[in-house]
């Protein structure tokens, strides 16, 4: 085992269908012995970081009907040249559950306003991650600026996490 990772296993990439809309995810299911060894009672969506076939990833273990899975994006599958049914090697460690990677633009905007920084600090790490992700996934500078403004609206209770306006 790698000195950088505490856990490793081989497993096939599977489809996991969710909900009546039939969303189809590509996942790797966590082995039962790993689930028993992890603090999943305290952290049902335990954050981990690791590698799948030597490609870095960060994820939250997702629970469903007593088992957990790791969701892999199409981009990650392309990077490792894998598809559903292929066996992959997953190595991981438990990540800092409170860590939030804040995009530079959002961090700068928060630091310009004591009120916004205070409201940000009052949010849970999960909500902070969701808001940071919204800004980080914008490609164009004007979209990034628009999303920073949306984050400020969320912090002030004017929008929900999806960016929809909340009526008073």
Domain assignment present for 138: yes
Backbone angles phi, psi at 84, to 5 degrees: -55, 130
Whole-number Å distance between alpha carbons of 58 and 100:
12
Whole-number Å distance between alpha carbons of 15 and 30:
14
The reported pTM is: 0.74
Mean pLDDT of the 101-122 span: 95
DSSP 145: H
Both 89 and 113 in a single domain?
Answer: no
CATH number at residue 86: 2.40.30.100
Q: Contact 91/7 with Cβ under 8 angstroms?
A: yes
Whole-number Å distance between alpha carbons of 117 and 110:
5
Whole-number Å distance between alpha carbons of 68 and 86:
19
Q: What is the pLDDT of residues 4-35, one digit of tens each?
A: 889 999 999 999 988 766 788 999 999 999 99
Whole-number Å distance between alpha carbons of 93 and 90:
10
Range of the domain at 112: 104-155
Domain assignment present for 166: no
Both 89 and 15 in a single domain?
Answer: yes
Q: What is the pLDDT of residues 48-106, one digit of tens each?
A: 999 999 999 999 999 998 899 999 999 999 999 999 999 999 999 999 998 899 999 99
Q: Is the pLDDT of residue 37 over 80?
A: yes
- What pLDDT is stored for residue 145 in this prediction? 95
């Amino acid at each position: 085992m790698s000195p950088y990772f505490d856990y490793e296993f081989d497993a096939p990439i599977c489809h996991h269908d969710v909900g009546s809309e039939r969303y189809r995810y590509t996942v790797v299911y966590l082995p039962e012995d790993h689930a028993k060894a992890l603090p999943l009672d305290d952290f049902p969506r335990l954050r981990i970081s690791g590698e799948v076939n030597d490609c870095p990833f960060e994820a939250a273990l997702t629970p469903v009907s007593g088992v957990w899975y790791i969701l892999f994006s199409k981009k990650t599958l392309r990077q490792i040249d894998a598809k559903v049914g292929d066996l992959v090697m997953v190595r991981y460690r438990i990540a800092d559950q409170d860590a939030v990677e804040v995009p530079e633009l959002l961090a700068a905007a928060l630091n310009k306003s004591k009120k916004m920084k205070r409201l940000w600090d009052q949010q849970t790490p999960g909500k902070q991650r969701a808001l940071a992700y919204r800004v980080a996934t914008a490609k164009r500078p004007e979209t990034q600026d628009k999303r920073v403004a949306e984050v400020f609206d969320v912090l002030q209770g004017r929008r929900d996490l999806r960016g929809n306006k909340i009526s008073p």
